[in-house]
Amino acid sequence: MTRRLPARLAALAATLLVTLVIGMASACAQEAPAATIDPLPFKNHAQEVRFQKLTRQMRCLVCQDESLAASNAELAQQMRHIVFEQMQKGWTNQQIKDYFVARYSDYVLYKPPVKPSTWLLWFGPLVVLLLGAGAIVITVRRRRHGPPPTVPAADDDEW
Protein backbone atom coordinates (compact mmCIF):
# COMPACT_ATOMS: atom_id res chain seq x y z
CA MET A 1 0.00 0.00 0.00
CA THR A 2 2.70 2.46 0.99
CA ARG A 3 4.34 2.15 -2.39
CA ARG A 4 1.11 2.32 -4.36
CA LEU A 5 -0.14 5.60 -2.94
CA PRO A 6 2.59 7.86 -4.41
CA ALA A 7 2.23 6.06 -7.72
CA ARG A 8 -1.50 6.69 -7.71
CA LEU A 9 -0.96 10.32 -6.82
CA ALA A 10 1.52 10.67 -9.63
CA ALA A 11 -0.94 9.12 -12.08
CA LEU A 12 -3.65 11.48 -10.87
CA ALA A 13 -1.37 14.48 -11.24
CA ALA A 14 -0.38 13.38 -14.73
CA THR A 15 -4.03 12.96 -15.74
CA LEU A 16 -4.86 16.41 -14.39
CA LEU A 17 -1.93 17.94 -16.22
CA VAL A 18 -2.87 16.29 -19.51
CA THR A 19 -6.51 17.41 -19.13
CA LEU A 20 -5.34 20.93 -18.42
CA VAL A 21 -3.05 21.04 -21.44
CA ILE A 22 -5.74 19.62 -23.74
CA GLY A 23 -8.27 22.08 -22.32
CA MET A 24 -5.98 25.02 -22.86
CA ALA A 25 -5.08 23.90 -26.35
CA SER A 26 -8.72 23.55 -27.37
CA ALA A 27 -9.54 26.92 -25.78
CA CYS A 28 -6.83 28.50 -27.92
CA ALA A 29 -7.97 26.62 -30.99
CA GLN A 30 -11.47 28.03 -30.61
CA GLU A 31 -10.06 31.49 -31.29
CA ALA A 32 -9.00 30.51 -34.79
CA PRO A 33 -12.23 29.54 -36.59
CA ALA A 34 -13.91 32.85 -35.64
CA ALA A 35 -14.10 33.84 -39.29
CA THR A 36 -15.19 37.19 -40.61
CA ILE A 37 -18.55 38.12 -39.26
CA ASP A 38 -19.34 40.27 -42.26
CA PRO A 39 -18.65 38.76 -45.69
CA LEU A 40 -16.26 40.85 -47.76
CA PRO A 41 -15.68 40.50 -51.50
CA PHE A 42 -12.12 39.19 -51.47
CA LYS A 43 -10.28 38.88 -54.77
CA ASN A 44 -9.06 35.39 -53.93
CA HIS A 45 -8.53 32.94 -51.11
CA ALA A 46 -4.97 34.08 -50.47
CA GLN A 47 -6.20 37.61 -49.83
CA GLU A 48 -8.81 36.37 -47.41
CA VAL A 49 -6.21 34.34 -45.53
CA ARG A 50 -3.97 37.40 -45.33
CA PHE A 51 -6.89 39.50 -44.09
CA GLN A 52 -7.76 36.95 -41.41
CA LYS A 53 -4.17 36.73 -40.24
CA LEU A 54 -3.73 40.50 -40.14
CA THR A 55 -6.96 41.25 -38.29
CA ARG A 56 -6.13 38.58 -35.73
CA GLN A 57 -2.91 40.46 -34.93
CA MET A 58 -4.84 43.62 -34.09
CA ARG A 59 -6.90 44.44 -31.07
CA CYS A 60 -10.46 45.68 -30.98
CA LEU A 61 -10.41 48.93 -29.02
CA VAL A 62 -13.92 48.61 -27.68
CA CYS A 63 -13.71 45.04 -26.37
CA GLN A 64 -10.03 44.92 -25.67
CA ASP A 65 -9.86 41.19 -25.08
CA GLU A 66 -11.04 40.50 -28.58
CA SER A 67 -9.11 40.67 -31.80
CA LEU A 68 -10.23 42.79 -34.69
CA ALA A 69 -11.10 39.56 -36.50
CA ALA A 70 -13.36 38.22 -33.77
CA SER A 71 -15.06 41.33 -32.48
CA ASN A 72 -18.68 42.19 -33.14
CA ALA A 73 -18.22 45.81 -32.11
CA GLU A 74 -19.25 48.40 -34.67
CA LEU A 75 -15.86 50.11 -34.56
CA ALA A 76 -14.12 46.76 -35.18
CA GLN A 77 -16.35 46.14 -38.17
CA GLN A 78 -15.51 49.59 -39.51
CA MET A 79 -11.81 49.00 -38.97
CA ARG A 80 -12.06 45.64 -40.76
CA HIS A 81 -13.61 47.43 -43.73
CA ILE A 82 -10.77 49.93 -43.72
CA VAL A 83 -8.23 47.09 -43.64
CA PHE A 84 -10.05 45.45 -46.53
CA GLU A 85 -10.08 48.64 -48.60
CA GLN A 86 -6.41 49.30 -47.91
CA MET A 87 -5.60 45.77 -49.06
CA GLN A 88 -7.46 46.43 -52.31
CA LYS A 89 -5.32 49.53 -52.76
CA GLY A 90 -2.22 47.36 -52.41
CA TRP A 91 -1.07 48.49 -48.98
CA THR A 92 1.40 46.21 -47.23
CA ASN A 93 0.61 44.69 -43.82
CA GLN A 94 3.11 47.09 -42.27
CA GLN A 95 1.45 50.10 -43.87
CA ILE A 96 -1.94 49.00 -42.60
CA LYS A 97 -0.61 48.43 -39.09
CA ASP A 98 1.17 51.79 -39.14
CA TYR A 99 -2.08 53.49 -40.15
CA PHE A 100 -3.85 52.19 -37.04
CA VAL A 101 -0.86 52.64 -34.74
CA ALA A 102 -0.73 56.32 -35.77
CA ARG A 103 -4.32 56.71 -34.55
CA TYR A 104 -4.61 54.26 -31.68
CA SER A 105 -0.97 53.72 -30.57
CA ASP A 106 0.82 50.38 -30.21
CA TYR A 107 -2.15 49.31 -28.13
CA VAL A 108 -3.90 48.26 -31.31
CA LEU A 109 -1.23 45.57 -31.87
CA TYR A 110 -1.31 42.36 -29.88
CA LYS A 111 2.44 42.02 -30.29
CA PRO A 112 4.14 45.18 -29.06
CA PRO A 113 7.17 46.28 -31.10
CA VAL A 114 10.63 46.01 -29.56
CA LYS A 115 11.73 49.53 -28.58
CA PRO A 116 13.31 51.12 -25.48
CA SER A 117 9.97 51.52 -23.70
CA THR A 118 9.13 47.83 -24.18
CA TRP A 119 12.59 46.38 -23.44
CA LEU A 120 11.52 45.51 -19.91
CA LEU A 121 8.49 43.70 -21.29
CA TRP A 122 10.45 41.76 -23.90
CA PHE A 123 13.66 41.02 -22.02
CA GLY A 124 12.50 41.24 -18.39
CA PRO A 125 11.58 37.54 -18.16
CA LEU A 126 14.97 36.58 -19.60
CA VAL A 127 16.72 38.81 -17.04
CA VAL A 128 14.73 37.22 -14.20
CA LEU A 129 15.56 33.77 -15.57
CA LEU A 130 19.27 34.61 -15.71
CA LEU A 131 19.15 36.03 -12.18
CA GLY A 132 17.54 32.81 -10.95
CA ALA A 133 20.09 30.68 -12.81
CA GLY A 134 22.88 32.79 -11.35
CA ALA A 135 21.48 32.36 -7.84
CA ILE A 136 21.35 28.59 -8.30
CA VAL A 137 24.91 28.43 -9.66
CA ILE A 138 26.24 30.50 -6.74
CA THR A 139 24.36 28.40 -4.16
CA VAL A 140 25.55 25.11 -5.64
CA ARG A 141 29.17 26.31 -5.83
CA ARG A 142 29.11 27.50 -2.23
CA ARG A 143 27.79 24.17 -1.05
CA ARG A 144 30.45 22.33 -3.01
CA HIS A 145 33.35 24.43 -1.74
CA GLY A 146 32.05 25.00 1.78
CA PRO A 147 32.52 22.54 4.64
CA PRO A 148 30.61 19.30 4.13
CA PRO A 149 27.47 19.11 6.23
CA THR A 150 28.65 16.58 8.74
CA VAL A 151 25.59 16.43 11.00
CA PRO A 152 22.77 17.82 8.86
CA ALA A 153 19.96 16.78 11.18
CA ALA A 154 21.31 18.76 14.11
CA ASP A 155 22.05 21.88 12.09
CA ASP A 156 19.20 24.30 12.65
CA ASP A 157 20.70 26.84 10.27
CA GLU A 158 20.15 24.62 7.26
CA TRP A 159 16.87 24.71 5.52
Partner 1 sequence: MTRTTRALPLTVFIALLALLGFGIWWGKYHLPREVPSPLINKPAPAFNLPRLDVPGKDLTKADMLGQPYLVNVFASWCFACGEEHPVLMDYASRLGVPLIGYDYKDKPADAKAWLARHGSPYHMVVSDQSGLTAINFGVYGAPETYLIDAKGFIRYKHIGPLTPKVIRDVLEPKIAKLKREGQS
Specify whether the CB–CB gap between 91 and 85 falls below 8 A. no
The Cα–Cα gap between 116 and 113 comes to 10
Give the 3-state secondary structure of residue 145.
helix
Nearer to partner 1, 31 or 155 (CB): 155
Does residue number 72 form part of the binding site for partner 1 (CB under 8 A)?
no
Nearer to partner 1, 48 or 66 (CB): 66
Angle at 104 between CA 43 and CA 88, to 5 degrees: 15
Q: Which of residues 129-148 bind partner 1 (CB under 8 A)?
A: none
Q: Which stretch binds partner 1 (CB under 8 A): 1-9, 33-41, 46-54, 97-105?
A: 97-105
Helix orientation angle between 45-56 and 93-104, rounded to the nearest 10 degrees: 30
Does residue number 153 form part of the binding site for partner 1 (CB under 8 A)?
no
Q: Residue numbers of the site for partner 1 (CB under 8 A)?
A: 61-62, 64, 74-75, 78-79, 82, 101-105, 107-108, 157-159
